[in-house]
Amino acid sequence: MDISLTSIQLWLTWKSLKKRTTNKKQYETLIKVLEDRPDIAKGFTRRNTTTFWSDLSIQLNSLGPPIRDGSGWKKVWADYKSALKKKLAHNKMEFMATGGGPNKLIQLSELEEQAIQLCGLINTVDGIGCLSQGVPDKENVESGSELSDENIIEPTISVQCHANKRQSARDLLELQITQQKEFHMAVETLLTATNKKIDDFVHYQRQSAKAMQSINSTLTEQINEQKRHNMEMEKLKLQKLELKRKMLDMQIDYVNKSQ
Task: Report whether the peptide linkage leading into residue 38 is cis, meaning its omega lies within 30 degrees of zero.
Answer: no
8 Å CB contact between 31 and 114:
yes
**Please, is 22 exposed, middle or buried when counting C-beta atoms within 10 Å of its C-beta (0-12, 13-18, 19+)?**
buried
Q: What is the pLDDT along the chain (259 residues), one digit of tens a residue?
A: 455 556 666 655 555 555 568 999 999 999 999 999 999 998 888 889 999 999 999 999 999 888 999 999 999 999 999 999 999 888 888 777 655 555 678 889 999 999 999 998 887 765 543 433 444 333 333 333 333 333 333 334 444 555 555 667 777 888 888 888 888 888 988 998 898 889 889 988 988 888 888 898 899 989 999 999 999 999 999 999 999 888 998 888 888 887 7
pLDDT of residue 99: 52
Angle between helices 50-61 and 24-34 (to 10 degrees): 150
Rg (CA), the chain: 43
CA–CA–CA angle 123, 125, 128 (5° rounding): 25
| Whole-structure pTM value | 0.44
DSSP secondary structure letter of residue 106: P
Chain centroid to CA 37: 27
pLDDT of residue 146: 34
From the list 93, 100, 149, the residue with the least C-alpha distance to 125 is 93
Cα–Cα distance measured from residue 164 to residue 167, given in angstroms and rounded to the nearest whole number: 5
Cα–Cα distance measured from residue 139 to residue 224, given in angstroms and rounded to the nearest whole number: 109
Task: Report whether the peptide linkage leading into residue 65 is cis, meaning its omega lies within 30 degrees of zero.
Answer: yes
What is the length of the chain? Answer: 259
Cα–Cα distance measured from residue 74 to residue 222, given in angstroms and rounded to the nearest whole number: 69
pLDDT of residue 147: 33
**Please, is 174 exposed, middle or buried when counting C-beta atoms within 10 Å of its C-beta (0-12, 13-18, 19+)?**
middle
**Checking phi first, is residue 104 left (phi over 0); if not, alpha (psi -120 to 50) or beta?**
left
Cα–Cα distance measured from residue 167 to residue 178, given in angstroms and rounded to the nearest whole number: 16
8 Å CB contact between 106 and 87:
yes
Q: What Cα–Cα distance (Å) separates residue 175 from each residue in 18, 78, 97, 201, 221?
A: 14, 11, 31, 39, 68
